[in-house]
Structure 1
Amino acid sequence: MNSNLLNPARRRALGAGLGGAALALLGTRAQAAAWPARPLRVLLGYTPGGAADVTAREVLTPLGRLLGQPIVIDYKPGASGAIGAAEVMRAAPDGYTLGLLDNAPLTIVPALRRAGYDPLASFAPVAMVSQMPQVLVAPRSAGVATVQELLALMRRTPGKLSYASGGSGSVGHLVAELFKSRTGTFAVHVPYRGGAPAVTALLAGDVQFAFLTASATGPFIDSGKLKALGVSSLTRMPSLPHAPTIAESGVPGFDAPGWFALMGPAGLPEPVAATIRKALADVLAAPGVAGRLEALGQTVAPAGADVRRTIATEGATWKKLIDERKIAIEG
C-alpha cells in the first residue's frame, strides 16, 4: 500500500480545507473587484489651508475620479497631526477611511509622548505621495540674508534669538532643533498653532527665524518680506532655485525633508491597497501634477518608496535627537 495515498476521510477533510481557502481567496478578490462601492474619506491632521490641505486637494480629486468614487476630506487637527493619525488607526480596515499623514505624527510625536498608536504596527502604508523640504526663513528685521549670517548672529547673541514653529512636535520644530544641534547654537523655541500664525509672528518681528513649508512662506518670500536662507533637503527646490541647501551653506550633510504618505489602518487588505497604489501612481504621473506639486514646494515621491522603512529609520533619528537634547512638548 502506498503510504502517500490518503484515505477517503483524509481526502474529504483536505478537500474541505482547500475549498475553504479557495472561497476565502475568492472572497478577497471579489471584495477588491467590488471596491470601492461608496465614497472614501481621507483624514487630515491639520486645519484647512495648510500644506496638507492643498496637497490633498491636488491629489485626491483626480484619485477619486480614477477610483470611480468621490473622496471626502475630513479635518482632525491637533497634536502635530496625531489626532488625525489616531482616527485612521481606529477606522475599519476596508479602504474607505485613509489618512494623508506627514512625518510628524509617524516619526516625531511617538518619540515625544504617548501617541496612542504604534507608527509601524497600527497602520498599513499605501504609498508615499510627495517629499517636502522645510525652508529656513527670516524676516527683514532680523538683518540676515544667508545661513552663515544667521549663525554668526546666533553666536554673537547667545540665547537672545527665538524661532517659530507650527507647534511642538511639528517637523519644523525638530528640523530647527537638528539645525541647532549640528551648528552648536542656541535659540528659544516659540510654538504656534500652525504655520500661518508662525508666519505672522515672523512678519511682526516677534521671532527671528523659522523652518516652515514653501506653501506657507512662498508669497512672503516673493514679496521680499521674508528671506529664504536655505532649504533642509540635499538638493535645491525647483520652486526656490536661488535658495541654497543648508548642506551647501556650511552645514555638511544636513538633510531633513518632510513628506506625505497615504496610510490605512492595520489590516487593510493588500488587494485594496494595491488598487489605491496603482491609481495614485497614475495620478502622480499625469501631466501637470508634478509641476503643481513643485509650485507648492514639493516633489513627487520616488516610485516604490518604502514607507515602512522610512518611518522606522527616520523615527530612530528623531528619537536620538529628542533624547540627546531633552526636547519636550511646549505650549
Structure 2
Amino acid sequence: MKRRAFAGGLALAGLSGGVLAQATAYPGARPIRLLVGFTPGGAADYVARVISEPLGKALGQGIVVENRPGAGASIATDMVAKAAPDGYTVLLASPGSILVNPALNPKLPYTLRDLAPVAKVTSSPLVVAAHPGSGINSIQDLIAKAKKSPGTVNCATAGNGSAPHLGAALFSQVAGVQMTLIPFKGGAPAIQSVVSGDTQVTFGTPPSVLPMIQAGRLKGLAVSARDNSDMFPGLPGMAQAGLPDYAIDFWYGLFVPAGTPAPVIRKIYEAAAAAMQQPGVKVALAREGTAIDLSKSPDQFASFLEQDAKFWVKLVKDAGVKLD
C-alpha cells in the first residue's frame, strides 16, 4: 500500500483558477454533509454528533450528520468516494471501511485512491461485556466457557470488518478459543441483542456499551487496552484481566473525496483541530470512553494510515475473517 493511495486530494498541481477561487470561498452558503456508515446510537454516530456543532462553528457553516449504514460502512464510504470533490461531503470512518474492506474485497465499488485523508480525530479501546444471566462475569469466565463448548458463545459485533468484529476475532486468536461472531448493522443493534439475551457477549464501542453497563443491563468484563484507564472505572485492562498478550484499539477520522482542493482540505483540518480543542468536546467524548487523538496534519494522517493498514490487514488474514 503506497502513500499516493491517500494523496489524491492533497496536490495543488493542475487546479484551475475557478477551482482555486471556489476553494478560497469555501464553505460558502451550503451546508456540509457528514456521513456515518453505522446506525444511530453507536460510537461513530456519537463522535459525529459531538464534533459536528463545533466543527460547523469553526467552518462558519452548518454540519448535517447523515447515517448511511450497511456493508461494514462501505455504503457510506462509497457515497463519499463518488461525491463531488468540493468539501461539502465528508466521511467519518474507522479502519474497517477505509483500510480493511477495500484491501480484502476487490468487488467494492471504491478503492483507497477515491478518498483523501483529512484528520484522525479520536481513538478508544473496545469494551467487552456479557449478558448478566450468561454466567460470564470475567474474561477468564469467557475463555473457560468458550473452551468448554467451542462455537456456542455467540458474540454480537457491529458488522463484518468493523473494529468490534476484528477485536473479537483477535481475542479468539490470542485466547485460543472459538466464538460464533454475529454481525449486525451497527453497534446499537448488536448491543441490544446482548441485552435481550439473543447473544451472550459483545466486543463493543464504549458509547454503545457503557450506558448499558452503568444501567446494570450488561456485565462489563474488561476494556481491550492492555491496561486499565480512569475513563473506565471498575473495568480492568486485559493485563489485569489475565490476558496480557491481547490489546487493540480503534480510531475515527475524517475523509473527503479524492481531488478535493488542498486549501479546502486544510480548512476542514484546521476546523477539526479547533473543534477538538473545545473543552466540552473532550468532556463529552471522555464520558463515553473516547479520547481525542488529533493527527498533526493531513499528510501525517496519510502516513499513519499506511502503517496502520498493515496491522488490520494482517489481523484479518491471520484470523481468517470473512468480510463478504
Q: TM-score range by the shorter chain?
A: 0.7 to 0.9
1:230 aligned to 2:222? yes
Distance change in 2, residues 1:127/1:195 (3 Å) = same
Letter in 2 for 1:75: N
C-alpha distance 117-236 of structure 1, shift in aligned 2 (>3 A): farther
How many residues align? The count is: 309
Give the aligned residue type for 1:115. L
Task: Give me the TM-score of the superposition, normalised by structure 2.
Answer: 0.87
CA–CA distance in 1 between the matches of 2:291 and 2:223? 14
Matches within 5 A, 1:30-109: 30-37=21-28, 38-109=30-101
Match of 1:122 in 2: 114
The answer on whether the counterparts of 1:162 and 1:207 sit within 8 Å (CA) in structure 2 is yes
**Which one of the candidate residues 313, 316, 322 is aligned to 1:322?**
316
User: Residues 125-145 of structure 1: CA distance to partner in whole angstroms, max 9, x if unpaired?
Assistant: 111111132101111112222
SS at match of 1:140: coil
Change (3 A) 1:72 1:167: same
Deviation of the 1:29 alpha carbon: 5.5
CA RMSD between the two structures? 2.4
Once residues 108 and 37 of structure 2 are traced to their aligned partners in structure 1, the CA distance between those partners, rounded to angstroms, is 13
Which residue of the partner structure matches residue 10 of structure 1? Answer: none
What is the distance in 2 between the residues matched to 1:112 and 1:23? Answer: 32
Q: 2:213 aligns with which of 211, 218, 221?
A: 221
What is aligned with 1:255? 247
> Displacement, 1:146?
1.9
Does 2:183 align with 1:191?
A: yes
Larger radius of gyration: 1
Alignment partners' CA distance in 1, 2:214 and 2:66: 31
**Does the CA contact (< 8 Å) of 1:237 and 1:297 recur in 2?**
no
Q: Tell me the equivalent position of 2:269.
A: 277
Residues 109-134 of structure 1 show CA distances to partners (whole Å, capped at 9, x for unaligned) of 22442322223x22111111111321
Structure 1 residues 101-110 or 124-133, which shifts more? 101-110
Q: Structure 1 CA distance, aligned partners of 2:244 and 2:14?
A: 57
Name the amino acid aligned to 2:307: T
Q: Which amino acid aligns with 2:111?
A: D
Q: Structure 1 residues 32, 224: closer, same or farther in 2, change over 3 A?
A: same
Residue identity opposite 1:196 in structure 2: A
Distance 1:75 1:201, change over 3 A: closer
Task: Report which structure shows greater RCO (CA 8 Å, sep ≥6).
Answer: 2
Q: Which residue of 154, 157, 170 corresponds with 1:165?
A: 157
Equivalent residues of 1:238, 1:294 under 8 A apart: no
Instruction: Name the CA distance, whole Å, in 1 between partners of 2:287 and 2:248.
Output: 20
Is the contact between residue 111 and residue 322 of structure 1 (CA under 8 Å) also seen in structure 2? no
Q: Could you tell me whether the CA contact under 8 Å between 2:38 and 2:187 is conserved in 1?
A: no
> How high is the TM-score relative to the length of structure 1?
0.85
By how many angstroms is 1:24 displaced? 6.2
CA distance 1:82–1:224, shift in 2 (3 Å): same
Distance 2:52 2:13 in 1: 35
Task: Check conservation: 1:154, 1:186, Cα contact below 8 A.
Answer: yes
Q: Post-superposition shift, 1:293?
A: 0.6
Q: Distance in 2 between matches of 1:87 and 1:23?
A: 25
Q: How big is each residue's C-alpha offset from its partner over 1:156-207, in whole Å with a ceiling of 9 and x where there is no partner? A: 2233222111222221111100000111111112222322222222123332
Does residue 96 of structure 2 align to residue 110 of structure 1? no
Contact 1:111 1:318 in 2 (8 A): no
* Counterpart for residue 309 of structure 1: 303
Shift in CA distance, 277/153, structure 1 to aligned 2, threshold 3 Å: same
Distance in 1 between residues matched to 2:195 and 2:102, nearest whole Å: 32
Q: Which one-letter code corresponds to 1:92 in the other structure?
A: A
Structure 1: stretches of 5+ with no match in the other structure: 1-20
Percentage of matched positions with identical amino acids? 37
Which ranges of structure 2 fall in alignment gaps of 5 or more residues? Answer: 1-11
Answer whether contact 2:54 2:275 (CA < 8 A) is retained: yes
Range moving further from structure 2, 192-201 or 234-243: 234-243
> What per-residue deviation string (whole Å, max 9, x for no partner) do you get for residues 266-315 of structure 1?
11211111111111111111122101011122100144173323333333
Question: Structure 2 residue aligned with 1:201, among 188, 193, 201?
Answer: 193
Match of 1:91, SS?
coil
